[in-house]
Homo-oligomer: A and B are copies of this chain.
Amino acid sequence: MFNLFFTHVQEKVLLSTAEQELVKNYFIPKKLRKKQYLLQEGDVCKYLSFVEKGLLRSYNVDDKGLEHMIQFAWEGWWIADTYSFLSGESAAYNIDAIEDAELLMITLPHFEEMTLKVPKMERYFRILFQNNIIAKERRLISSNTYSAEEKYTKLAETQPQLIQRIPQNLIASYLGITPETLSRIRKNITLKK
């Protein structure tokens, strides 16, 4: 269950067997069926989750009921409902499974405790978050700078796996465009060739 997890962690920090055992105990394994929500209705707890298997998405729903993709996560990636504890937004925040998935979850209080008990995990997450900031910055610039077609082609170049695995309508939302526009863009691209 923790195979992929430790493979990924060990790429950034080296844990002793004892540390590994400590870390393991903070995580709760969970399986999700396609379309199932990560959180049950009314669940107030915030989680950070590592994806061992499958594919998830996080998204919010605006006041008009439209979904906006925030992130996709598959094997080897983390996903969290971080956004939701920022107040002042009249938006719902959800995580659910696009494909059947297996996760390792940790609550935020346990996360804080673990990073104190195992400083190497503190380091692991500092590095992870640092890289994530860069990725988000890049996406932000892309969103403000490029046309819909440029955004799509850049995504297709940098993250081909994403294009293959994720339904077009969700990719459209991730890029901040409508499914119709994405469909036309794709048609246009194939015509060019």
Contact = CB atoms under 8 A, between A and B. Distances in A.
A180 B129 CA distance: 36
A86 interface: yes
Contacts of A86: 134, 138
Determine the interface band of chain A, counting residues with CB < 8 A from chain B: 35 or more
A115 B126 contact: yes
A191 interface: no
A133 B82 contact: yes
A83 B144 CA distance: 15
A129 B70 CA distance: 18
A8 interface: no
Contacts of A175: 144
A84 to B, nearest CB: 10
A68 B158 CA distance: 21
